Amino acid sequence: MIDLVFVDTNVLVYARQADAASSKQQIAAEWMERLWREDRGRVSIQVLNELYVTLTRKIRPAIKPDEAWDQVRTLMGWITRAMDVDLLERGREIERRYRLSWWDSLVVASAQAEGCALLLSEDLQDRAVFGSVTVRNPFVLGVSEAASEYAVEPTRRMRHRPRGRPKRAATAA
């Protein structure tokens, strides 16, 4: 089972487009089906805003607003954290540190805040690592490949006490 996966707008748009002949549409649809089945998908308010605008105004043929809203409403279940001041601060740190665009910085910050190990996007460099989040292009990374590469690892037991150094063994005098 793969860990939590943050899905960028472009993947959602490809999954929704009516062009069934497109290989990107098929791959995106496979990702979405798996993430729904395993309850591993995550998005942000920003991603849903971009999705609505893209579906209703940018793609051809455009989707009716009510139909696009139904798609957005369904994906609201993938948001577990609201955008807040802490997320904006994290986005600013990411923007400065990695020199990403503001919007990409917010996507990475949201993926981190949601506890995702994987960020599916074709807008960012494939295999880029931002803290605990690895970006993968979903059209390069196969759905089945992700199952082994991004598997949830069992929690490891600590060898030492949680605080301080381990006690030294008493020496014989």
Please write the tens of the pLDDT for every residue from 56-83.
Answer: 999 988 999 999 999 999 999 999 888 8
Residue 121 in contact with residue 135, Cβ under 8 Å? Answer: yes
CA-CA-CA-CA torsion sign (90, 92, 93, 95): positive
Tokens encoding 34: 């798996």
Nearest to 24 by CA among 34, 36, 12, 7: 12
Rounded to whole angstroms, the Cα distance separating 17 from 24 reads 10
Instruction: Specify the number of domains making up the chain.
Output: 1
Which domain CATH number covers 61?
3.40.50.1010
- Domain assignment present for 84: yes
Nearest to 82 by CA among 51, 107, 113, 105: 113
- Domain assignment present for 67: yes
Please write the tens of the pLDDT for every residue from 121-158.
Answer: 999 999 999 999 999 999 998 787 665 455 444 334 44
Candidate ranges 5-9, 15-19, 21-25; pick with highest mean pLDDT: 5-9
Range of the domain at 62: 5-149
